[in-house]
Chains A and B, each alone.
Chain A
Amino acid sequence: AQKVTQAQTEISVVEKEDVTLDCVYETRDTTYYLFWYKQPPSGELVFLIRRNSFDEQNEISGRYSWNFQKSTSSFNFTITASQVVDSAVYFCALSPPNTGNQFYFGTGTSLTVIP
């Protein structure tokens, strides 16, 4: 079974604080892709990152960084020095092979950055 768990439903931080959004996944596949999406109030989901299960290197993009730990089936997302524009719902997703590019989404974490 494929499953993605985002245990944090809502998080509030004060601007400039760092915040980490947790993502834990379950799959029996040995190869798979993991994603993070951002959903601002406008409604669309914006792609942030894709990670292949073979690549456990952490990635940094500006104020965003991702920590992929295959041993604990986690793919956490950290925003450094948060800004009000980071306020959104963030979704983690899993896409295993042989599923025709199916996506399994977590329930999302709503982040509010307070000025």
Chain B
Amino acid sequence: EADIYQTPRYLVIGTGKKITLECSQTMGHDKMYWYQQDPGMELHLIHYSYGVNSTEKGDLSSESTVSRIRTEHFPLTLESARPSHTSQYLCASSDPGTGNTEAFFGQGTRLTVV
């Protein structure tokens, strides 16, 4: 069982609010990711990090920002939520130190912006 946690699981919030989606892992993994999953199921990489103080944008442009101050913590922030941000957000981590390994995923945050 993977030790990666996301909070909240569900969030309904009004337009213009600032929100932070939390993601924590206890596996000591250096690599962490944020994926956005639209209703059509496709997963889009929006942010990733190689380690502390490292953040990169993914393939899908996103208005969100991330930070990596501690190895275990990779929060995602939306400064001003909009209805177009309604989606499921999945956090993952991996340990590529020994080669490409599987990513472990959290349970996701289902965000609805009204």
Contact = CB atoms under 8 A, between A and B. Distances in A.
A89 B41 contact: yes
Nearest to B35: A105
A45 B41 contact: no
B37 to A, nearest CB: 9
A76 B50 CA distance: 31
Nearest to B33: A103
A5 to B, nearest CB: 12
Given A102-B45, A107-B41, A97 B100 contact: yes
Contacts, number: 59
B91 to A, nearest CB: 10
A33 interface: yes
A19 B43 CA distance: 23
Nearest to A31: B100
Interface in A7-52: 32-33, 35, 37, 39, 42-47, 50
B92 A45 contact: yes
A45 B45 CA distance: 14
A35 B106 CA distance: 17
6 contacts: A33-B100, A44-B105, A101-B101, A102-B48, A103-B103, A107-B42
Interface of B: 2, 9, 31, 33, 40-43, 45, 48, 50, 88, 90, 92, 94, 96, 99-108, 110
Interface of A: 32-33, 35, 37, 39, 42-47, 50, 89, 91, 95, 97, 100-103, 105, 107-108, 110
